[in-house]
Structure formats: C-alpha cells, structure tokens
C-alpha cells in the first residue's frame, strides 16, 4: 500500500547544529511535497512546498530537497534554535487514475533542540 | 486576514451521541478539508469540500459526514460516536483544492 514514512523517534540536536529530517514515500507519483510544523495543541503550520521538477528550495534557515528517484525528501534547519523544537510533518498529494486524492501526511518527526 | 476558526474548541460526548463541528475558512478560500489526528494514527484525511461539493474522501466510515455552505463555511458531523472517535479534529482551508493548507486550532473531542 502507498505510505509516507518519517522517523517516528524523537530527534535530539544540539543548538547551533543542522537538523536533518527525512521523509520517504512509496508508490506515489507526487506532483509536489509540503512540509509543515506542528506545536503541541495547535494545528500544523505550512513551511515549504517543493515541486517534482525542483531539486531544492530554501527559506531563511530552512532547506528542502526532493529526490523523486529515491522517493525521498530531506528537510534541513541550519543554526538550529530551541524555538525550532516541534513536530515536523511532510505531506503529499496523491494522484490516482481518478484524479487528485486527499493530502496525505506522514506521522511526523518530533525535533528537540537542546541548549 | 483572520485565520481559520473552529468551534467549539473542546467537546465531551458519550458513546452513541452525535456531534457537529464547525469551521470558518480564511476569507476567499474555497476549499475546506477535515482531518482527524490521534497519537497512534497521526493526521488522517477525512474529506475535502470545494465550492459546496465533496471532492475527495478518506477511508472513514459513513458515520463521518460533512458539508460546505455557499459562504465556504463547513461543518463536520459524526453520528453514533465511538470511544475511538476521541481525537483532535482539524480543519484546513486553501484557495484551491490540494494547495497549501492553512489549519485551524482544532476541536478536541473526547468520547466517554
């Protein structure tokens, strides 16, 4: 079955280092991939969108790569800060024979930046 | 612009009851999607409405239904509540279908 996999274990990173989160997917043919941030008790907040014909996208300290051959996206936070601690979700839009399906989210990776 | 609003924020119901949740999208957004979030299953897509029509539906039983009004506001209904329906229900709006989602704060439903 089609699925999205993110590292379900918490990722502990020392402040100032680069945090790298992984999103792997199977059997999808996504047109684009999105990354969201979610804080406890709140709804997810959109961060970045990368299209299938883009290799890399940047926004301030954030960088996303998209490798459709490996079926993988990497999400980087450089110069990480404790305020970056949150759960990060990747999401794909599925396109099947019947057209676009719902936006499918991974279960997220809990990132902890330690001072 | 005001963000996505959801009411109520918290709700306690008992098994067998039914519940209606409300969502007001960002002004100008025509697509509203609903998601269920639980610790075990993560964020799962329920359905999406665009211009009052259901465009996509996730893998949930028929007890879960929704609708969208002409002003793009949306409601979600769950009938015959089960304990497993306890979750955070999130609504998200976007300009067009499947575009970047702007989420509301969610409604936390507890079924006893």
In tens, the pLDDT along A32-49 reads 899 999 999 899 999 999
How many interchain CB pairs under 8 A, A with B?
53
Using the predicted structure, report yes or no on whether residue A98 has a pLDDT greater than 90. Answer: no
pLDDT at B99 over 80: no
* Residue found under tokens 């306890």: B86
Shortest CA distance from A31: residue in chain B? B98
Determine the average pLDDT of the residues in A45-64: 94
8 Å CB contact between A88 and A108: yes
Would the pLDDT of B13 be above 60?
Answer: yes
> Nearest Cβ partner of A44 from B55, B58, B103?
B103
* Residue recorded with tokens 């409405």: B49
Shortest CA distance from A33: residue in chain B? B100
d(CA B24, CA B74): 7
- Chain B residues in contact with A106 by the CB 8 A cut-off are 42
Burial class (CB in 10 A: 0-12, 13-18, 19+), A24: middle
d(C-alpha B15, C-alpha B18), whole Å = 8
Report whether pLDDT(A8) > 80.
no
The set of residues, in sequence order, having a beta carbon less than 8 Å from that of B32 and lying 6+ positions away, is B23, B25, B48, B49, B50, B68, B72, B73, B74, B91, B92, B93
Residue B89 scores a pLDDT above 70 = yes
The pLDDT of residue A31 is 77
How many CB atoms within 10 Å of residue B39?
A: 8
Residue B3 pLDDT exceeds 80: yes
| Kind and range of the H or E run holding A66 | strand A62-67
Task: Give the model's pLDDT for residue A96.
Answer: 59
- Residue A95 contacts B where some CB pair is shorter than 8 Å: no
Q: How many CA atoms lie within 13 A of B39 on its CB side?
A: 2
Q: Specify whether the backbone of A70 is left (phi greater than 0), alpha (psi in -120 to 50) or beta.
A: alpha
A10 in reach of chain B (CB within 8 A): no
Range with the poorest average pLDDT among A24-33, B12-21, B39-48: A24-33
Does residue A101 carry a pLDDT above 90?
Answer: no
pLDDT band at A97 (very low <50, low <70, confident <90, very high): low
- Is the pLDDT at A99 greater than 60, yes or no? no
Flag whether pLDDT at B1 surpasses 60: yes
Which pLDDT value is given to residue B23?
Answer: 98
User: Are the beta carbons of A101 and B56 separated by less than 8 Å?
Assistant: yes
Instruction: State the Cα–Cα distance between residues B71 and A101, nearest whole angstrom.
Output: 24
């Amino acid at each position: 079955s089609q699925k999205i996999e993110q590292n379900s274990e918490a990722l502990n990173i020392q402040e100032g280092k680069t945090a790298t989160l992984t999103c792997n997917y199977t059997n999808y043919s996504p047109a684009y991939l999105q990354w969201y941030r979610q804080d406890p008790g709140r709804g997810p907040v959109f961060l970045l969108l990368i299209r299938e014909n883009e290799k890399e996208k940047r926004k301030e300290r954030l960088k996303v790569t998209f490798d459709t051959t490996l079926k993988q996206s990497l999400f980087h936070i450089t110069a990480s800060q404790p305020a970056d601690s949150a759960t990060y979700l990747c999401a794909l839009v599925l396109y099947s024979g019947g057209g676009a399906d719902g936006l499918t989210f991974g279960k997220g990776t809990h990132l902890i930046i330690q001072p | 612009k005001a963000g996505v609003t959801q009411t109520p924020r918290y709700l306690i119901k008992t098994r067998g009851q039914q519940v209606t949740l409300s969502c007001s999208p960002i002004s100008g957004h025509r697509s509203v999607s609903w998601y269920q979030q639980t610790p075990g299953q993560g964020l799962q897509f329920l359905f999406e409405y665009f211009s009052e029509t259901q465009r996509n539906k996730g893998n949930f039983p028929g007890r879960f239904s929704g609708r969208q009004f002409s002003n793009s506001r949306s409601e979600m209904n769950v009938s015959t509540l089960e304990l497993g329906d306890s979750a955070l229900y999130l609504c998200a709006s976007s300009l067009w279908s499947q575009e970047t989602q702007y989420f509301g704060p969610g409604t936390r439903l507890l079924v006893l």
